[in-house]
Structure 1
Amino acid sequence: MVAFDCDGVLVDSEPITNLVLKDYLNELGWRISLNETCDTFIGRSIKEQMPYMEEKLGKALPETFLPEFQRRRDEALRQQIRVIPEIEQVLKKLQSSAMPFCVASGADSGKMQITLGHTGLLPYFEGRMFSGSDVARTKPAPDVYLLAAKSMAKLPGRCVVIEDTVAGVTAGVAAGMHVLGFTRSSKADALLAAGAKQVFDDMRDLPELIL
């Protein structure tokens, strides 16, 4: 089985989401740059990072912070989301080979419905979508990948994970899965250091690595 992360692997959402977060944190008083926002928060649950944000701000976040962030994020995603180049061709090849695959994201399920829905990828994953909303702990904990394997009746050691962040690679490794690192959002050496077995920078190369 192949388990795809969603953001940065299937859809090009990371720049959009992190720009929204950067602008919001700037409004609240943290003058963080876009590069710093990406380095700090990419691949991680915003909800779980809220105590860290409060520490950096030196004050409590507004009670409406999370729903307001999600509202802004979702609006931006609806307008700007695009697929990762060549990913649909990869999914079609997996379908034709009868290789089972799913999406296992640390993001909330509502976000996946927007990103996969607005890019036309949703039909590939109907009934095989696992999110941070489904588990107690999000990445870098392995929970969502273990849930995906259990739900699809696959042993973790027989699963391949496609990830683009250190947190995601760490989650896949902790789940006992073979992890391939996609270097669109993170540097190759960082993904390898986290435990990725191989790295690649072009989705056209992926079928040869998994089929």
Structure 2
Amino acid sequence: MESRGFARGLCWQKLFWVLVAGSVFGVAWEHCVNLLMHGRFYGGRGLVWGPFNLVYGCGAVLLTLLLWPLRDGQAHKLLLAGMLAGSAYEVGCSLLQETVFGAVSWNYDRELLPLLGGRTTLPVAFAWGLLAVFYMKAVYPRLSRLIERIPPRLGRALTLALLVFLAVDALVSLLAVGRMAARRAALPAQGGLDLLMDLCFPDHALKEIFPGMKFI
């Protein structure tokens, strides 16, 4: 069993580590962009604990799954597929956040060529396409080999531990943001869990964790 290696092919363990890598990279990317544009590190986090942003992580998984059949094809096909997939994902995440929490974390209304109410733009869509080409041709093959080099027993243990942690982190993050929305609506705590969220994640703490999030 050990000789088979860890996370061979496009299995769920491989996709999970793609999600983790994409989540961490997304946070680092936003911090670097904000440093260049505004002179300071901020933004990017999507969970209350750790340097993870599952929007980027799930986007990496989506690109991997959708573009896998085109990985050996021509670059222009990857570009077009990446533009469509990335833009659809970005718009979907924006709609979901607005519908569930009444909040937005990005808006491109004042940017060049905004689309769909500022949920994305044509330049951003093109950037998704370029990212798709670079990711499938240069990044994913190397990332895949790196993941497969993890010792199988260690890989399985790390996968399980990190999966449990991220699941709890995501659940607590949802509860904390949901409670923040309830406080904005002047809704009192309805039990011990709400009181715990009020104590551990007051508005000022969540604004530091999610500086780009705005309620509408």
User: TM-score when scaled to structure 1?
Assistant: 0.27
User: Highest CA radius of gyration, 1 or 2?
Assistant: 2
User: TM-score when scaled to structure 2?
Assistant: 0.26
> Going by fraction, where is helix more abundant, 1 or 2?
2
